[in-house]
Amino acid sequence: MRNGRFRLKPLPCVGLCVLLVLLVLGATSCGGVREGYINTDRARNIHMIVKMNQGDYWNTVRLGAEAAAQEFNVNLTFKAPDAESEIDRQITMVEDSIAQKADVIILAASSYMGLAQVVDQAAYSRIPVISVDAEVGSARVSTYVGSNGYEAGQKSAQRLIELLDGHGEIGILNFTKSSAGSSLSGGAIDYGARDAEEREEGFLNYAARYPNVEVVQISYTSSSVADAERLTREMLAAHPQLRGIATLNETASQGAGKVIQSLSAHSVKMVAFDSSPTMMEMLQDGTVQATVIQNPFSNGYLAVKYALELTEGLDVPERVDTGTKLIDLGNMLWPENQKLLFPFVR
């Protein structure tokens, strides 16, 4: 009786609480946070370090990454050494990104083993690392976005051997075995880029099925067209019987294509790698019979997208294969291939 004044309070209080709970429930259900939706309210710092800062291929990767950055509100820092062979420079760049506390590092490693250590270091600093295009020898990499190099090499070999009717000498122009050709190839540490190795392996394994086909030389260019041209000339000079050339990246393809075009050596068949407007012209005028293309735009875009999903704590696939395709004169103007070959409308 003494606290009669308070004895009525519980009921209105309970009512108030129920009302408030209802209100909160209503508000949240109206807000509607979707599951798996990437939150773009906060800008993330994502660092992308690729093999080099020139060439159509990397440019396209960058554009893909930038498209994703724009879409998902990402501060994209794009870094690349001048040449694919500058492994130390690339390591320094990764170290810088670690120091700058990037949210995610996207790396196209110029060297499978050379960058392994610095990737481990990034993982130690709790920065996730995504591999794009070329894998790196670290178990700490979150995901790999790129094409299957082995398969691409096989496609290239298959088409070249078809073109040669199954016999003849073949030269291969590959890239970044080491900075100075093959001087370090015998060493205990393999400093080559993973994608280059995979493509070569795929090619050689396929070619090995044909006893009449002989791979007479494998040259490794650094990352300049001029170097590729020089190597091609040397190769043609060294092997006059050479019937086919397979090039395994864009610069090598452009160099070799130029040499063949200038020599008008139509007896030499060539299967190139990657697409660029010049390569398309060579394809159309018959200098190059086919090219294996990847999806650089998708690689760049998806790498950034998955990087973002990592920061959101979402599950990302361990390996994303963006596919390869063999393009020749016959199918280059198919609508779907047009879109792949020339993704830039403007």
Partner 1 sequence: MRERKYRFFPLRPQHTPGGRRRRSNKLRSIQLIITVSFTAVTVLVAVIVSFMLYNKFARTAEENANINMQQIIEQVNYNLELYVTGMSRIFATAEGQITGSASIDSPLLSERMDTLMSSREDLVSVSVFTPEGDYVVGTPGLVLQQNTQLENQSWFTSASKSAEIAYSAPHVQNLFKGNYPWVVSISKMISYQEQGQTHQGILLLDFNFRTIDELSRQVKLGKRGYAYILDSLGNIVYHPQQQLIYAGLKYENVEPVLEYAYRSYIDTSTGDKRLITVRTLAETGWKIVGVAYYDEIVTTKRDLNQFLFWFLGVVISLVIAVSVLLSWLIASPIRRLERTVKQVGEGDLHTPIQVSGAYEVEQLSLRFNMMLQRIRQLMDQIIYEQETKRKGELEVLQSQINPHFLYNTLNSVIRLAERGKTDDVITMIQSLSKFFRISLSRGKNFITVQEELDHIRHYLVIQSFRFRGKFRFEIKAQEEVLQYQTIKLILQPIVENALYHGIEMSPDEGFISIAASLQSGSIVITVADNGLGMSPETLGSLLKGGVRTGGGSGVGVRNVNERIGLFYGREYGLSFASELEEGTTVTIVFPAVPAEIPAESGEEDTSS
Q: At closest approach, how far in Å is the CB of 345 from partner 1?
A: 4
Q: Which stretch binds partner 1 (CB under 8 A): 13-21, 75-83, 157-165, 204-212?
A: 13-21
- What CA–CA distance (Å, rounded) separates 126 from 98? 9
Size of the site for partner 1 (CB under 8 A): 46
**Closer Cβ to partner 1, 124 or 334, answer by number:** 334
Distance of CA 196 to the CA centre of its chain: 12
Q: Kindly identify the residues of this chain, within the stretch 207-246, that bind partner 1 according to CB under 8 A.
A: none
Q: Kindly identify the residues of this chain, within the stretch 284-343, that bind partner 1 according to CB under 8 A.
A: 284-286, 295, 297-298, 301-302, 329, 332-333, 335, 338-343
Q: How many CA atoms lie within 13 A of 105 on its CB side?
A: 35
**Closer Cβ to partner 1, 20 or 43, answer by number:** 20
The partner residues of 175 in beta bridges, in order of sequence, read 221
Give Rg (Cα) of the chain. 27
One-letter amino acid for residue 314 of the chain:
L
**Closer Cβ to partner 1, 23 or 208, answer by number:** 23
8 A C-beta contact, residue 113 and residue 191 = yes
| The pair of three-digit structure tokens given for residue 148, joined into one six-digit string | 């299957």
**Closer Cβ to partner 1, 238 or 333, answer by number:** 333
148 in contact with partner 1 (CB under 8 A): no
- How many helices and strands in the chain, by DSSP H and E? 11, 12
- What CA–CA distance (Å, rounded) separates 236 from 233? 5
Q: Kindly identify the residues of this chain, within the stretch 72-111, that bind partner 1 according to CB under 8 A.
A: none
Selected from 189, 277, 319, 321, the binder of partner 1 by CB under 8 A is 277
End-to-end CA distance of the chain: 85
1 in contact with partner 1 (CB under 8 A): yes
Q: At closest approach, how far in Å is the CB of 339 from partner 1?
A: 4
**Closer Cβ to partner 1, 19 or 180, answer by number:** 19
CA angle 64, 220, 145 (to 5 degrees): 25
38 in contact with partner 1 (CB under 8 A): no
8 A C-beta contact, residue 222 and residue 84 = yes
8 A C-beta contact, residue 109 and residue 85 = no
Q: Catalog residues that contact partner 1 under the rule CB under 8 A.
A: 1, 4-5, 7-9, 11-12, 15-16, 19-20, 23, 26-27, 30, 32, 34, 63-64, 67, 71, 277, 280-281, 284-286, 295, 297-298, 301-302, 329, 332-333, 335, 338-346
